[in-house]
């Protein structure tokens, strides 16, 4: 005789399904902000690395062309630029590849010609603006203004900022200069993410060496999304 064993199949009740759903929502509420925090923290590190690479490339350009380069940034914003420094006397020492202002007031780039001659061609400095990773902003660019910095800034017609000042002209940061001899303005570039985490790129002026450091976090601005 064959005995059939009936296996009862127990279905989930509505209460059990709601309980499971509530647990999943609670886990997601913890996991999603944590993941978002990890992403923004990574963007902060990526932005510091991006600045390091751009800075080193500009330093090489300054040494190769014999013309200083300048870094400027929009404070409380994400835009920045690294471009040739038009201080007014760059045509005296600049070599091929430098950007200078001609006697007619046109911005041109120098080129090596035949027989040691120097040619020039018009150049457009527009479109050089770069951006940090999404959500990352410049909190401050603190510069140490020495006599060399002050002299260069005065020659360009700008006002010399006070030591440690972040704000230059038109809401931009004070100019951070990279010189043809490999030295730079001594400075600290501070970036901040939406959670208030901060990292700084410290620039040692005499050697042009860079150092990335994490700073104490600050409370995020409640007025910002």
CATH number at residue 181: 3.55.40.10
Digit-coded pLDDT (tens) for 176-197: 999 999 999 999 999 999 989 9
Into how many domains does the chain fold?
1
Domain span holding position 181: 30-85+128-215
How confident is the model at residue 114, as a pLDDT? 47
Is residue 178 a part of any domain in this protein?
yes
How confident is the model at residue 221, as a pLDDT? 47
Is residue 190 a part of any domain in this protein?
yes
Residue that the structure tokens 């010399």 belong to: 160
**Residue 186 has which token pair?**
């001594």
Is residue 211 a part of any domain in this protein?
yes
Is residue 109 a part of any domain in this protein?
no
How confident is the model at residue 116, as a pLDDT? 45
Is residue 101 a part of any domain in this protein?
no
Is residue 110 a part of any domain in this protein?
no
How confident is the model at residue 3, as a pLDDT? 53
How confident is the model at residue 165, as a pLDDT? 56
How confident is the model at residue 129, as a pLDDT? 87
Is residue 164 a part of any domain in this protein?
yes
Is residue 141 a part of any domain in this protein?
yes
User: What Å distances lie between residue 131 and 5, 80, 85, 117, CA to CA?
Assistant: 70, 6, 20, 38
Q: Supply the pTM of this predicted model.
A: 0.68
* 35-44, 59-68, 94-103, 128-137, range with the lowest pLDDT: 94-103
Digit-coded pLDDT (tens) for 113-161: 444 444 444 455 554 789 999 999 999 999 888 888 888 888 877 888 7
Pairing of strands 198-204, 186-192: antiparallel
> Does residue 25 or residue 109 have the better pLDDT?
25
CA distance 133 to 43: 6
């Amino acid at each position: 005789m064959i005995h059939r064993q009936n296996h009862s199949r127990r279905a989930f009740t509505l209460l059990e399904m709601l309980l499971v759903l509530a647990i999943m929502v609670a886990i997601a509420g913890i996991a999603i902000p944590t993941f978002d925090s990890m992403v923004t923290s990574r963007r902060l590190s990526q932005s510091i690395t991006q600045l390091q690479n751009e800075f080193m490339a500009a330093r090489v350009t300054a040494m190769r062309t014999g013309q200083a380069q300048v870094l400027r940034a929009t404070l409380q914003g994400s835009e920045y630029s690294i471009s040739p420094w038009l201080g007014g006397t760059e045509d005296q020492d600049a070599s091929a590849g430098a950007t200078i202002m001609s006697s007619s007031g046109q911005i041109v780039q120098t080129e090596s010609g035949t027989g040691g001659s120097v040619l020039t061609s018009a150049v457009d400095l527009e479109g050089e603006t770069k951006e940090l990773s999404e959500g990352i902003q410049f909190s401050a660019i603190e510069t140490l203004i020495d006599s060399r910095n002050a002299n260069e800034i005065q020659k360009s017609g700008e006002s010399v900022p006070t030591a440690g000042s972040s704000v230059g002209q038109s809401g931009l940061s004070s100019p951070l200069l990279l010189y043809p001899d490999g030295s730079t303005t001594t400075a600290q570039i501070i970036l901040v993410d939406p959670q208030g985490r901060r990292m700084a790129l410290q620039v040692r002026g005499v050697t042009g060496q860079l150092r990335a450091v994490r700073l104490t976090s600050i409370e995020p601005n409640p007025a910002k999304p």
